Amino acid sequence: MIEWGHRSDGVTTIVRDDTQIATARAAAMRGDMHLEIGDTRWLFFASRGALVGERSGAEQPDLRATRPRRSRSTWDVEADEIT
């Protein structure tokens, strides 16, 4: 199970089965978040009703998540060639 761990100096750890797999830091703009997964840094932000994820140095967003109409508990996620 993936869980949000402890927060220290503005950085929150994300753990899976008691092993840290990522760190998250709130970005300067409200609602944005920097996330480090391994050696890759991501920026997640809201744009036109979608949650967008962009890898550092990418020319365009890599992930886009939207909620289907009338749904508050599910997301549709589009990812371009990312595992």
- Residue-wise pLDDT tens digits, 32-58: 888 888 888 888 888 888 888 888 888
Boundaries of domain holding 56: 24-83
Indicate whether this model's pTM tops 0.85.
no
Angle in degrees, CA 80, 14, 31, rounded to 5 = 65
Quick check: is 14 in a domain? no
Q: Per-residue confidence at 71, pLDDT binned at 50, 70, 90?
A: confident
Quick check: is 8 in a domain? no
Quick check: is 17 in a domain? no
Quick check: is 52 in a domain? yes
Quick check: is 11 in a domain? no
Instruction: Output the six-digit token pair for 26.
Output: 């709130």
- Among 9-13, 60-64, 68-72, which stretch is predicted with the lowest mean pLDDT? 68-72
Distance CA 63, CA 81 (A): 10
Quick check: is 16 in a domain? no
Quick check: is 6 in a domain? no
66: pLDDT strictly greater than 70: yes
CB 37 within 8 A of CB 22: yes
pLDDT at residue 57 in the model: 83
- What does R_g of the chain's alpha carbons equal in angstroms? 14
How many distinct structural domains can be found in the chain? 1
39 φ/ψ sector (left φ>0, alpha ψ -120 to 50, else beta): alpha
